[in-house]
Each structure stands twice: as C-alpha cells, then as structure tokens.
Amino acid sequence: MTAPSAAPRYEQLADDIEAAVRRGVFAAGERIPSVRRASVQHGVSIKTVVHAYALLESRGVIESRPQSGFFVKARPVARNGSPARAEGAARGTAQGSSQGEKGRRAGAEKVPMEPAPNAAPAPVDVSRLVLSTLRSIVAQDAVPLGSPYPDPALFPWRRINQYANAIARRHAGWNLIDDLPPGNPELIRQIARRYAENGADVDPEEIVITVGATEAINLSLQAVAKPGDTVVVESPTYYAMLHAIERLGMRAIEVSTHPDTGIDLDALERVLARKKVAACMVMPNFQNPLGFRMPEANLRRLVALAEAHDLPVIENDVYQELYFGPTRPSSLKQFDTRGLVLHCASFSKSLSASYRIGWALPGRYRAQVEKLKFLNTLTTPSVPQVALADYLRHDGYDRHLRRLRRFYREQARLMRAMIERFFPAGTRTTDPQGGYVLWVELPPRVDSMRLYRAALAQGITIGPGYMFSMRNDFHHYIRLNYSYPWTAQTEAALKTLGELVARMA
C-alpha cells in the first residue's frame, strides 16, 4: 500500500542540490545555476528543473527572487523572538469530549474525524510554506486549488473601478491627514450601516479601518497580549492566527475544533481553569479550513466563558457574508456586553481582495488598536477606502452577494461530488456551510506535503494540512479552494489528485 519507492527525477535532482548545499558547494545567499543551465548540466528537461527548484523552495533550501533566479536561503541566527510553541496537553485534554459523536451533524457522513494527537513537531515553517504555495500558483500558472483567496473575477470590479476613477477625477490631491486612523468617516459609516442592516448593533465610533483583516488581527492580538503570553487557537486553525502569534513571540495552545460546531468549549474551559491565557482567537463563521457555522448556543457560551475569565476574544469574521443557509449567521460580537470581543473583518472575501480594506471592532481595546494602527502603517490608502464607501452607498452589494453565495454553494456541492468520484476509499470531506474552501481527510498514510509536491509537479496546487497547526495532527488533510468556475481543467486536476492519493494510500 506504500507509494512506489523510486522517487521521480525532479525529486532526485532536488535531493542532489540539497546535498550540495549541505556540503557547502553553494553557500547561503549564493545564486544557484539558472533553470536553463541546470537542465543542460544535469541532462534533464526544463520542466524537471522547475519542479525540483519549487520543491527545494518549499523545503526552505532555496528562494526565488524576482527577475534574478534562485538563491540558497540565508540561515541567520533567529533574532526576532522565539517562535510560537504549541502545547500538546490541551489537545490531549480535549480528546475525551470532542471524539464523541454528540456534536456531529446527522447525515454528514463525510465529516473528517479528528486524528489522534501526535507529539512529533511540525516539520515545516508554516508561513514559508504558505508563501511558497501562493508563489507556486503564480509562477507555474497552476490550478489554484491551494489558493486561500477567492477568484477575483467574481467581484464587481468594473463598478468599483468606476467609483475609484470618479474619486481620482474629483480630487486634485488627497491629504493624508483626512483619513488618519480610525479611517475615512464615510467608509466607517457605511460599514456600521451594513451591520445595522444585518441586525447587528454596531457603534460607528468603535470601527478602526485597517490594511485587510490581516492587519486588524495583528493589531488586536498586540493590543491584548504581550510576548511570552499564551494564546488559545482552534485546531486546525487559519494559519494567519499562528503567524500573528509567532511574530509577536507568544505561545499557542491549540484546542480541538469540531468540523460542525467549532472549538470544543469543554476543552477550552479546562484550559482556562488551569492556565493563564491572554487571548483566544476564533473564526466562528465558516472557519478556514473547516467551514463550520458555530451554533448560536456555542457563541453565547464562548462569550460567557470569556466574561467569566476576563478573556479577550479575537473573532475573525471575514466569511460572515458568504453563508449558504437561509439565515445570516450571528457573530460573537453581538453577544458581547463587556467589550471583550475584538471583531475583525474585511471586504477581501466578498467584494475586493486587492484593495486591502479591513476593519476591527476592538471593544474596550479600541484606543490601543487605533494607536497601534497609526504606529504600524500610519494610515490605510485613501482612494480604496472612499471607492468602497461609494460602492456600498450607491451600488448593489446585496445583489452581488446573493449571486456569490449561490455560486459558492453550487461549487461546494460539485467539488464534494467529484472527490467522492475520483478519490479512494477512506477519503472524507467537510460539508461547508459557507465560504469557499473544503477540508479533505485523506487515508492516514498519505502525507500532504508529499502530495503537495507531487501535485505541483503536475501543475496543481493544494493546501497541505501542515499549514493549519503547529503540530503534526493534520498531515493527511488538505484544503481545496472551490471559488473558481468549474472547468474541464479543474475536473482533470481533481482526477489527477485522486490518482496520486490512491497511489500514496
């Protein structure tokens, strides 16, 4: 049942080059031969070299630099704080309750089980792996199943551009000072109005505009915790949460998270009882990668827990608008009466990714977040802020969203059906309630990094499970993006993936 033992040619080439680097033939920072030259030197095709270099990049041995080629990665002494460390105990504690069937939705036969805890450390640098996955999509024009971003073609770009153009024509110059933190007042008003229309009572004066939700999450975490502090995340978690924790020199505790109901609240309660936790970071709606919608009772219980422990909760709610069901989901923020929830969101998943407009509703930490925003990037670019404000005021955001939700729901159905058709027995998928990603459990022998490399060699990207945890628990899981229109190429890619999985299983 193991994969054929002979490694493909590109993998052998990668091993050879890596060995040369280890021997010092190529020093850190030095350029390695161009693809063309290496192809001649080693007597292999250009394509083989390209794949070998991509593999070396994902292993962290080399890095590509724009317009100049590939270089041996420098390995300087780490000076920016100690990396985030995951604690095994919390997961162990969580097993008892989360392994049970009580939280599982009836009829969902293909929900991934949680794997047994595994003490081995994650073998990859998560943020490097994420970045190199993204790069490989661009560099090789690969099928973007591994992308975390929605297909930009689905956004009302033409309309948004028209607003941006009108603004640019209206203003001779734009004074930086006008849109200092908290941000452009009209955009803030439109965001608050949107929440009000959705039945959430949001105080406009609480909103701080940021460069995407990424900045909002980073600033929120820094506002409530300090280096060395312990932060609870879901497991699996959206990797930007781990990045934020790692970058700020904090420690992560991963708490078991159910694919239907979200973070295990019993396990969380036990962690809080025995440990000083500075913050908890969750994604209650259509979590990336699991796609669940946390039941309202759980939202309430999580807020109650936070209040009992005076625990700030960072809520990443970027997918809230992308629900498939008949009713709009609630967010933690709506149940928060004490200002402990720092709610982060953006337009990047629903309206425009490259405009990079996000925001935070930081509750009682508003003053700190606003100040940190000023210190981090001074201010968010003006024209994107005003263009989105104009779009929201004058255009058909709701109509656009209705179309988008219908499309994603249908795509999710299609991709699940194709996986059922092409993948071997032992494969299971989530049944996402919103968003545009699917979490796939593969047979336990399949290593998602090996699958990632093999897929890349075929021009296909996937999101390996290693991205979503600091531990080794999800080595046989992958995340797939279904936001791109269904084509023969997508179908062929899934078929190829299924064959690779079957070979490795």
* Minimum CB–partner distance for residue 122 and a copy of itself (Å): 17
* Minimum CB–partner distance for residue 291 and a copy of itself (Å): 21
Q: What number of CA atoms fall less than 13 Å from residue 439's CA on the CB side?
A: 33
- Looking only at residues 247 through 276 of this chain, which bind a copy of itself when binding is defined by CB under 8 A? 247, 249
Compose the 76-115 pattern: x for residues touching a copy of itself by CB under 8 A, - for all others: x--xxx----------------------------------
**Closest to a copy of itself by CB, 16 or 178:** 178
* Minimum CB–partner distance for residue 305 and a copy of itself (Å): 19
280 binds a copy of itself (CB under 8 A): no
* Minimum CB–partner distance for residue 25 and a copy of itself (Å): 20
From 92, 138, 222, select the one nearest 456 (Cα to Cα): 138
243 binds a copy of itself (CB under 8 A): yes
- Looking only at residues 126 through 155 of this chain, which bind a copy of itself when binding is defined by CB under 8 A? 127-128, 130-131, 134-135, 137-138, 144, 147, 149, 152-153, 155
- Looking only at residues 20 through 39 of this chain, which bind a copy of itself when binding is defined by CB under 8 A? 29
Q: What number of CA atoms fall less than 13 Å from residue 347's CA on the CB side?
A: 27
* Minimum CB–partner distance for residue 213 and a copy of itself (Å): 9
- Looking only at residues 357 through 376 of this chain, which bind a copy of itself when binding is defined by CB under 8 A? 364-368, 371-372, 374-376
66 binds a copy of itself (CB under 8 A): yes
**At a CB cut-off of 8 Å and minimum separation 6, what does 294 contact?**
261, 262, 263, 282, 284, 285, 302
Choosing from 62, 111, 164, 345, the residue that interacts with a copy of itself (CB under 8 A) is 164
Cα–Cα distance measured from residue 164 to residue 431, given in angstroms and rounded to the nearest whole number: 38
467 binds a copy of itself (CB under 8 A): no
**Closest to a copy of itself by CB, 10 or 155:** 155
Count of residues that interact with a copy of itself, criterion CB under 8 A: 93
**Closest to a copy of itself by CB, 174 or 335:** 174
- Looking only at residues 305 through 334 of this chain, which bind a copy of itself when binding is defined by CB under 8 A? none
Cα–Cα distance measured from residue 313 to residue 59, given in angstroms and rounded to the nearest whole number: 34
**Closest to a copy of itself by CB, 184 or 320:** 184
Strand partners, 255: 234
460 binds a copy of itself (CB under 8 A): no
Q: What DSSP string describes 433-473? A: SBSSEEEEEPPTT--HHHHHHHHHHTTB--EEGGGG-SBST
Q: What DSSP string describes 241-282? A: HHHHHHHTT-EEEEEEEETTTEE-HHHHHHHHHHS---EEEE
Cα–Cα distance measured from residue 271 to residue 284, given in angstroms and rounded to the nearest whole number: 19
Q: Alpha helices, DSSP H only, in 120-230?
A: 126-139, 157-170, 185-197, 212-224
Choosing from 378, 394, 420, 487, the residue that interacts with a copy of itself (CB under 8 A) is 378
Q: Cis omega before residue 289 (within 30°)? A: yes
- Looking only at residues 220 through 239 of this chain, which bind a copy of itself when binding is defined by CB under 8 A? 222-227
459 binds a copy of itself (CB under 8 A): no
Tokens of 384: 């994107």
From 221, 216, 200, select the one nearest 345 (Cα to Cα): 216
**Closest to a copy of itself by CB, 111 or 467:** 467
Choosing from 37, 171, 338, 399, the residue that interacts with a copy of itself (CB under 8 A) is 171
Cα–Cα distance measured from residue 386 to residue 168, given in angstroms and rounded to the nearest whole number: 10
Measured on CA atoms in the order 99, 103, 107, 108, is the torsion positive or negative?
Answer: negative
**Closest to a copy of itself by CB, 292 or 484:** 484
**Closest to a copy of itself by CB, 336 or 441:** 336
Tokens of 15: 């091993």
The 10 Å Cβ neighbour count of residue 444 is 12
Compose the 178-217 pattern: x for residues touching a copy of itself by CB under 8 A, - for all others: xxxxx--x--xx-------------xxx-----xx-xx--
Choosing from 74, 297, 304, 417, the residue that interacts with a copy of itself (CB under 8 A) is 74
**Closest to a copy of itself by CB, 5 or 80:** 80
Q: Please return the burial class of 175, using the count of CB atoms within 10 Å of its CB with bins 0-12, 13-18 and 19+.
A: exposed
Return the SS3 of 343. strand
**Closest to a copy of itself by CB, 139 or 200:** 139
172 binds a copy of itself (CB under 8 A): yes
> Hey, which bits of 43-106 come out as E strands?
62-65, 69-72
